[in-house]
Amino acid sequence: MAADKPVSVELEANEFALIVGEEDGEMSVRVVGGAEISDDAPEMPAPAEIILALAMRLLRDPEFHDEVLDWYYEHQDDMGDEE
């Protein structure tokens, strides 16, 4: 994957994206929502909470990186069967 130019992605109002990058050798994480969540909202939508929890865990738990990668490599063949 080349990082020559930015890529645009349009999210539906009910979608959230976790964007993981690297800046100066450090992991960077951003959460982007398809629509703004009002500060007055009684609770955050479940998908937003899941994405925020993943983002926080990625930033604060370096061992989690290895766990996620290990899981991915262990299940990589299984994922090809689902397509």
- Per-residue pLDDT at 2: 56
Is 8 inside any structural domain?
Answer: no
Per-residue pLDDT reduced to its tens digit, 26-36: 888 999 999 88
Q: How confident is the model at residue 55 (pLDDT cuts 50, 70, 90)?
A: very high
Is 23 inside any structural domain?
Answer: yes
> What mean pLDDT is predicted for residues 5-25?
90
Where in the sequence is the domain holding 50, given as residue range(s)?
17-35+42-82
Q: How confident is the model at residue 65 (pLDDT cuts 50, 70, 90)?
A: confident
**Domain total in the chain:** 1
Is 67 inside any structural domain?
Answer: yes
CA atoms within 13 A on the CB side of 9: 12
Cα-based distances in Å from 65 to 57, 62, 69: 9, 5, 6
More confident residue, 37 or 49: 49
Average pLDDT, the chain: 86
d(CA 13, CA 45): 11
Is 2 inside any structural domain?
Answer: no
Is 12 inside any structural domain?
Answer: no
Is 5 inside any structural domain?
Answer: no
